[in-house]
Amino acid sequence: MGLGAQFSLMATATLLVTPVIVANESGHGEDYLIWMVFASLVVVGLSTLVQVRRLGPIGAGAVLPMFTAAVSIPFCITAAFEGGPAALTTLVLATAVVQIIISRWLVILRRVVTPTVGGIVILILSITLASVVFKLLDDAAQEDPVAALVPALVTLAVVAAVTLRGAALLRLWGPVVGIVAGTAVAAIMGGYDATRVLDAAWIGVPASAPGLAFDFGITFWTLLPSFLFLGVIFSIHSNGESISMQRVAWREDRAIDFKEVQGALAGSGVSNVMAGFGATVPNIINSGIISFARTTGVASRSVGYSIGIILLALAFTPKLSSIFSTIPGPVMAGYLMLVCGTLFIDGARTIILNEPNREKVVAGGICFWIGAAFQFGLITLPDVGPVLGGLFKSGITTGGFAAILMILYLELTNPRRMRFQSRLNVESLPELNEFIDKFATRRKWNAAMKNRLSAVAEETLLTLAPLDLQGERDPSEQENEKGSEDERSLVVVASSEGLSADLEFIAGPSGDLNIEDRIRQLQQHDADSVVEDETSLVLLRAYASSVRHQQFHGTDIVTVRVNPPAQQV
DSSP 390-423: HHHH-HHHHHHHHHHHHHHHHHHTSPPPEEEEEE
Same domain, 80 and 156: yes
Same domain, 332 and 437: no
How many domains, the chain?
2
Do residues 163 and 342 touch, judged by C-beta distance below 8 A?
no
Among 294, 323, 351, identify where a domain stops.
351
Same domain, 164 and 288: yes
Among 334, 351, 368, identify where a domain stops.
351
CA distances from 333 to 80, 135, 153 (A): 20, 9, 9
How many beta carbons lie within 10 A of that of residue 253, not counting itself?
A: 11
Same domain, 201 and 286: yes
Assess if residue 460 is contained within a domain: yes
- Please state, in angstroms and rounded to a whole number, the distance separating the CA atoms of residues 522 and 137: 59
User: Quick one: DSSP state of residue 427?
Assistant: G
Assess if residue 549 is contained within a domain: yes
The pLDDT assigned to 503 comes to 87
The pLDDT assigned to 468 comes to 40
The pLDDT assigned to 41 comes to 94
Same domain, 149 and 27: yes
429 three-class SS: helix
User: Quick one: DSSP state of residue 527?
Assistant: -
User: Quick one: DSSP state of residue 565?
Assistant: G
Same domain, 426 and 513: yes
The pLDDT assigned to 525 comes to 52
Q: How far is CA 232 from the centre of its chain?
A: 8
Same domain, 145 and 275: yes
Same domain, 436 and 520: yes
Q: Is 555 left (phi over 0), alpha (psi -120 to 50) or beta?
A: beta
- Write the DSSP string, 508-523: S---S--HHHHHHHHH
Do residues 551 and 509 touch, judged by C-beta distance below 8 A?
yes
Nearest in space to 328 (alpha carbons), one of 172, 184, 128:
184
Assess if residue 550 is contained within a domain: yes
Q: Please list the pLDDT of the chain residue by residue as tens digits (569 residues).
A: 888 888 888 788 778 888 988 998 888 888 898 999 999 999 999 999 999 988 888 998 888 999 898 888 888 999 999 999 999 999 999 999 999 998 888 777 766 666 677 777 778 878 777 877 887 788 777 777 888 888 889 998 998 888 888 777 777 788 888 888 988 998 888 888 788 788 778 888 888 888 888 988 888 998 898 899 888 888 888 887 887 788 778 777 676 777 888 899 999 999 999 999 999 999 999 877 887 777 777 888 899 999 999 999 999 998 888 887 788 888 888 888 888 888 788 778 777 776 767 787 888 888 888 888 887 777 776 666 665 666 666 677 788 778 878 877 877 777 778 888 888 888 888 999 999 999 989 888 888 888 888 888 888 888 777 544 333 444 444 444 444 444 578 888 898 877 888 888 888 766 556 565 655 555 555 544 444 456 666 777 777 778 887 778 778 888 888 888 765 44
The pLDDT assigned to 471 comes to 39
What is the dihedral angle through the alpha carbons of 436, 441, 443, 445, rounded to the nearest 10 degrees? 90
Among 332, 351, 370, identify where a domain stops.
351
Do residues 23 and 319 touch, judged by C-beta distance below 8 A?
no
Nearest in space to 357 (alpha carbons), one of 109, 108, 119:
119
Question: What does DSSP say about strands 283-285 and 66-68: parallel, antiparallel, or unpaired?
Answer: antiparallel
Same domain, 151 and 45: yes
Assess if residue 525 is contained within a domain: yes
Same domain, 448 and 347: no
Assess if residue 108 is contained within a domain: no
Do residues 405 and 476 touch, judged by C-beta distance below 8 A?
no
Give 83's Cβ-side CA count (13 Å radius): 26
Give 59's Cβ-side CA count (13 Å radius): 18
| Rg, C-alpha atoms of the chain | 27
Assess if residue 220 is contained within a domain: no
58 three-class SS: strand
- Please state, in angstroms and rounded to a whole number, the distance separating the CA atoms of residues 493 and 512: 23
Neighbour order of strands in the sheet with 489-497: 418-423, 489-497, 500-507, 555-562, 546-552
Nearest in space to 32 (alpha carbons), one of 399, 281, 239:
281
CATH number at residue 524: 3.30.565.10
The pLDDT assigned to 113 comes to 66
Nearest in space to 139 (alpha carbons), one of 378, 390, 333, 349:
333
Assess if residue 163 is contained within a domain: yes
Do residues 273 and 535 touch, judged by C-beta distance below 8 A?
no
Assess if residue 399 is contained within a domain: no
- Please state, in angstroms and rounded to a whole number, the distance separating the CA atoms of residues 16 and 297: 27
Query: Does pTM surpass 0.85?
Result: no
Same domain, 422 and 346: no
Same domain, 82 and 205: yes
Structural domain of 541: 418-467+481-567
